[in-house]
Structure 1
């Protein structure tokens, strides 16, 4: 900073007119961009950080903010037509009241009504997921809709593509939507057999026009498959060999869902919104399916930069606050905001069984350091932390008490809560909670527990963790 001030002082004396023009331009730049940032009404700390960076890095700061700064997307949505079914306010005990409050919160923030499922299966790892997916595709009679963040042109991707090609040749409508960044290795040559068979392919935020600001940093991280409006798949598993433990010994440890029942209609709605947004097409004609109500209370949670309420983030925090016995969280990326951190530590300080399951080393060393920067406060509050490895733990799930479970595509971090388009499922069901508890308990038993008295080098641990934490809003 001293060198910069010395340079400015010398420049002012050497070229006073040129310096005056530079200073005037810098002032206009700061005022204009400052108003732009301030009027977005973000958190004060984040706003100040951006203002300082723009002042210290004139013009270059603008480029960084333009590409990576906080953004909102306004898009034409079918969401305006979503049902707003009123939830019953029947009498019940305190626990029932809290569950109803979660349902109302989910409905208010997503405009998707609480619903039910007749069958929910937890699919552990890629092998079981891909077998169930291909089986469901093979049984399609009307349509197959797929949306993925990562769809790789490898053995797994070829297997799924060929299953889609077979159905398209049989006259089934196939629509595939993939994220342009997550599926960057997917080429039109690989997709040609599907297109030639009559299938449709679209890209979410393609990079063909990089001057359009939102396209680089705002991605669709969703994983949705809907078959005939009757069967749906969602969760954390992409289409890639990296998720199939039968093909790779280091495949991700992950969790997915196979769902039947009326809640499938909400996942269909989410897919159609994304398809229309990505393609500019009108809403396709889809036969209406009216499955009977099921025994499992289920609700689709969606979030993204096209809405102000951060529904998935808000529901996670609300569920933790409502818990009375336990809070178990599994996430590959753990970079909590202030509200989420407060909820976790408050639950632990209140005596609840709070556990956190994270990878011993994620696919981003920066994220690993950032996550570990929060460990000291969590451990001091009484949170039990387990680091899973050597396989990368990719499960994204929250379990509260004996009957609340959230499973989906969203990590527990800023990017998933604020930047990515995500989808998760909220279940209020003792059976699903018990199955999830069994899975998490199994994985925690194989994941060493982090100790408060662990040795931590200043240069290799404490310093990089602290520096990585400064980058938390960008991770």
Structure 2
């Protein structure tokens, strides 16, 4: 055909103008926008398929569902301490979740401690058990949990299990007994590849780990349900941290779960039942505030909480994260704190479970080291702990990594604490981890082909990781 080249050229130009204009109108970071535009230009039509599946998108949750949940489960706020008042107000403005209190907070280090405590609490449940997880894999750890859940479901306890449709896809065969016993199972963002008129939710996952038992006991943190995070059955299991909570802060975790369940299932009738089963509890000594974020909100609340906490630091900033791919604001906060003479420490795994993310993280080390940040690489096992310690009172622990994906794409949950005793416990834990983490020094040998070039190339993908 004599005009085939002309038609192809015009089609390519129209494709770039229309899709490129759509991407530009989303008003995201210029670097990320330019990265997508370049990819679309270099990969005609294929680039559109990649963007359709993996490109950024916003999720508009049904506001009526959220309003009904929050009306049925009102939070019980507590006056913010002067030292964290500004940070707490910002977190409340971006999430509508206020500062409240906890009567008991336990740091559960590694999977064996978490699973043992969780199974014991599940077996004591009387009204309901709510669970939300990103990864749930078959194995010893999940079998123990499933057995406990099935036993409680048969005893008449309402069990609701919400799982990410991709993260837990390999364990679908494990839940037949639970459903047969009366438990309820729902999937968060199931794939929609058969609906070509709708963009799939492949890139928008719930990374939250939430358990609420009878509205009184809550769990959250970094651990999924897998033998890869249980050192009692796997010597090479991830090194990780989880929280066991009691007190009014559990009411906020309950609220987050109920919102997610209503969103995933479309159900609303259960909200009143849950509200009646969620007791009001006395104030506790530990100030605590649940902070959530996800692609359904433009505020990046957990990102803001981290950056705000670091900017508010007066003495030290200790950050531990398995995936370190910071944006400009996060890098500015860390380097500013170090340049101001604060004790800034970054603890990351020597090798994470993603080679690409490890390389991208190391590409930032040079600037951090020059600013005075002390960087340590944990070696014995994969470090999966996600925690921030600021000064002698401020602690943030949750599911969010210190990277673009957690701050912008995933549905995440963290808890901000204002408590000196908890801060001291976390400091002791991090100091113990540093004993197994050699410090990264300036001037270390870094070959062009083995380190510097791969790291630089991986950094180009940072906005997309």
Q: TM class by shorter-chain length?
A: over 0.9
Residue of structure 2 aligned with 1:258, choices 244, 268, 287: 244
1:417 maps to 2:411: no
Matching of residues 9-28 of structure 1 within 5 Å: 16-28=2-14
1:381 maps to 2:371: yes
Q: Deviations over 1:21-58 (max 9, x none)?
A: 22322222122112211110111222222222222222
Residue of structure 2 aligned with 1:337, choices 327, 333, 343: 327
Matching of residues 10-409 of structure 1 within 5 Å: 16-77=2-63, 78-81=65-68, 82=70, 88=79, 96-187=81-172, 189-207=173-191, 209=193, 211=195, 212-284=198-270, 285-286=273-274, 287=276, 288-409=278-399
* d(CA) in 2 for partners of 1:471, 1:102: 31
Instruction: Answer with 33-42 or 168-177: which moved more.
Output: 33-42
Aligned length: 454
Secondary structure at the aligned position of 2:337 is classed as helix
- 1:97 to partner: Cα distance: 3.5
Residues 110, 37 of structure 1: alpha-carbon distance in 2 compared, 3 angstrom cutoff: same
- 1:20 to partner: Cα distance: 2.6
Q: TM-score, normalised by structure 2?
A: 0.95
- 8 Å CA contact 2:76–2:100 kept in 1: the answer is no
Secondary structure at the aligned position of 2:439 is classed as coil
Which structure 1 segments of 5+ residues have no match? 1-14, 90-95
Instruction: Answer with 96-105 or 171-180: which moved more.
Output: 96-105
Secondary structure at the aligned position of 1:215 is classed as coil
* d(CA) in 1 for partners of 2:79, 2:289: 15
- 1:341 to partner: Cα distance: 0.4
- 8 Å CA contact 1:354–1:382 kept in 2: the answer is yes
Secondary structure at the aligned position of 2:171 is classed as coil
- 8 Å CA contact 2:380–2:436 kept in 1: the answer is no
Secondary structure at the aligned position of 1:216 is classed as coil
Report the structure number with the largest CA radius of gyration: 1
Which structure 2 segments of 5+ residues have no match? none
Q: TM-score, normalised by structure 1?
A: 0.93
* d(CA) in 2 for partners of 1:163, 1:278: 24
Residues 465, 365 of structure 1: alpha-carbon distance in 2 compared, 3 angstrom cutoff: same
Q: Deviations over 1:84-113 (max 9, x none)?
A: 888758xxxxxx544000100110011111
Root mean square deviation of aligned Cα: 1.5
* d(CA) in 1 for partners of 2:45, 2:108: 49
* d(CA) in 2 for partners of 1:200, 1:422: 22
- 8 Å CA contact 2:133–2:164 kept in 1: the answer is yes
- 8 Å CA contact 1:320–1:344 kept in 2: the answer is yes
